[in-house]
Structure 1
């Protein structure tokens, strides 16, 4: 076991110990989210109602996780009861429900915000936020139910019906100390059936159903439905409960252990998957010493100041280049030579004539050569061979 692996192992163990201590000392928190899930035991889940629903409905209760559109597209049903509790449905499913109600079925919609506006308009109501009070009371308008009510002391939605058509019957209200009563439970005659809409589904949650006396209000609300087969369209949460990780992820301790295990596994794979080899040293490329040699020779000639010798060597190099590349005889630097050089290089005749004069001057051992002559000849010869 190398030193690096030991360091990472120690870090991993320390992190696990810290997480374990945090988990042990963590205070249990309550999930107050309004999930309305039939499998949730949190305050605003529907676990209690789901277990008591069979006894609440005297006839057969059928829970259906398909959408109303899918269900009624496959089956033709005689008049029955329809229950929808905080279920996200598409517009086509709502239309199927309205079709069933118009043919004699009754629908109980205990729902807050999920009815499309075009559907609620066709039924005959508008709902909106009517209150921001922290507490209110749900009561039914029927005198025989006056003693049965639910006090909402935890996060009431404050929803109510701001507009109701004249023929709509008000069955329940939200009662507050500082405000006038607001309708929250209505009955609408629709074709051959009835639609019941309650806009405060909190009274069905675990928190309120477990309080003494509140179950009576729930029974009274559903008593408006006739005694016949009831179909409850529940959200598709039952399918997610079959997910093999659901139990682990729903338990905080197991969930933390699972994520720690995955994190450790990823770290282990990451650090052990790295290729293990010696560091490859950087190889410096071989240096081109030819350029250094040329610079040294150039500096030598420059220090000596022998411009004549430098012109002679430049002229010699140029004539050799002309013989090898252009195949021109350089024995006689006459007009014939100048003509051939002009034809093969395409350079102006004046430049070639001036260059030939400077070459002859470089070849004359007794000629007086200046630095300017060397510079000029070098420029001309480079221009010709360019």
Structure 2
């Protein structure tokens, strides 16, 4: 590993640990997601309400319902108060018919959501708007027993009210009160009602945010929630027609942020510690792949090049002639190779060796004409003999090689 690569790796590790440190020390961002899930402690979860239900209803059992109402209410033995709190609720026709049958048998249904249109109950909601420059919204209950106390919730929320109700079967239990900068009431609309159906009741509320963690822990707003839910307690003969059993059926199916885990990755990324452990593991695997891949590359086979047998063949032939002392034959081959050399390099014909040939070869080779003549006289002398000595062969070779140099 070279020095440059080590520097890059060191910078990468430094950056990774720097990011981890910054993420660990920076303030955690508040999650304002409207979850309404009982297991969520974020501002708009319902952890506090779910935990306090046993205190608000000491004589009732709180049972979580994970099925949709259509499936759950097919069992007619299920009784109690069906409790719905969510940002938006959209019941199907068959599903709401099961809720109607459930209430008709003497049970109650509590629904807190941002606006609801139920033609069967002849109710309709609208959004309240005013011309006030600085308006404030307050929640209050209509029953004089609550002394007309108004509760303010500081965060902005949809200001919905019941525009249309069935006056014969509907009782207004609470109101949305709008005040201007002078604290004067500029509008007052119903936002909490009870609709009688058969032997039971529907309780409808247009401000589900009141039941979330943030608003229940804000000032004394928990009193407002307790007062609203007090209508679900054992019935008063003047206000309620029948008992609704001793069970609160807490809906967990209709929740914007369901608390159930939909995938392992979702569970890991939802926890800060597990999320960073997951990221570090991925980075470690990446490093492992990079360095392991560099250290264990695929073996490259060594291919032995083919041997040049020309030199070995030449040596073999030369040794054969040399051992037989056939110096003349070797000289003839040497002369023939030299003539081929002249023909190839100097582009001269060797069929006729005369004065003109000597002059042309001398001019093209850069040798003197006398040296050229001496070389070919030596060749002619060798060719005229039938046998030559070893010394003559060596002398011929020296002259030829000297000419080529």
Q: Could you say whether these structures have the same fold, taking a TM-score greater than 0.5 normalized by the shorter chain as the test? A: yes
- Unmatched runs of 5 consecutive residues or more in structure 1: 281-386
**Partner residue, 1:240:** 261
* Residue 44 of structure 2: aligned partner: 44
Say yes or no: does 1:259 pair with 2:289. no
1:125 to 123, 126, 144: 123
- Which sits farther off after the overlay, 130-139 or 204-213? 130-139
Distance 1:251 1:160, change over 3 A: same
CA contact (8 A) 1:134 1:154 kept: no
- State how far apart, in whole Å, the 1-side matches of 2:12 and 2:233 are: 63
Equivalence map 1:357-376=2 (5 Å): none
Please name the residue that 1:182 is paired with.
189
Q: Provide the rounded CA distance (Å) in 2 between the counterparts of 1:253 and 1:134.
A: 43
1-structure distance, mates of 2:38, 2:290: 42
C-alpha displacement at 1:195, in angstroms?
0.7
Structure 2 residue 73 is matched with structure 1 residue 67: no
Contact 1:135 1:176 in 2 (8 A): yes
Evaluate the alpha carbon distance shift between residue 93 and residue 271 of structure 1 in structure 2; reply closer, same or farther with a 3 A threshold. farther
1:111 counterpart (107, 113, 125): 113
Q: TM-score, normalised by structure 2?
A: 0.59
| Higher Cα Rg, which structure | 2
Gaps of 5+ in 2: 181-185, 235-244, 302-405
Q: 1:9 to 1:220 in 2, by over 3 A?
A: same
Q: Distance in 2 between matches of 1:19 and 1:213?
A: 41
Q: Distance in 2 between matches of 1:10 and 1:208?
A: 49
Matched, 1:22 2:22: yes
RMSD of aligned alpha carbons: 3.2
Partners of 2:73 and 2:120 in 1: CA distance = 20
Task: State which drifts further: 187-196 or 78-87.
Answer: 78-87
Which deviates the most, 134-143 or 211-220? 211-220
Q: Judge conservation of contact 2:38–2:46 (CA < 8 Å) in 1.
A: yes
| Structure 1 residues 35 and 276: CA distance shift in structure 2, 3 A | same
- Residue 198 (structure 1) aligns with: 205
After superposition, give the CA deviation of every residue in 1:153-194 in whole Å (9 maximum; x if it has no partner).
Answer: 012222222322333221111111133012111111222221
- Report how far residue 272 of structure 1 moved: 4.7
- What is the DSSP-based 3-state SS (H/G/I as helix, E as strand, rest coil) of the residue aligned with 2:39? coil
From 218, 221, 226, the counterpart of 2:225: 218
Does residue 230 (structure 1) correspond to residue 248 (structure 2)? The answer is: yes
After superposition, the C-alpha distances for 1:35-93 in whole angstroms (9 at most, x for unaligned) are 112111122111111110112123222121121122122x2226532111117564133
Report the equivalent of 1:359. Answer: none
2:165 equivalent in structure 1: 164
CA contact (8 A) 1:23 1:253 kept: no
- Displacement of 1:245 in angstroms is 6.0
Q: Secondary structure of the residue that 2:43 maps to in structure 1?
A: coil
Measured in 2, the distance between the counterparts of 1:147 and 1:249 equals 46
Specify the alignment match of 1:351 in structure 2: none
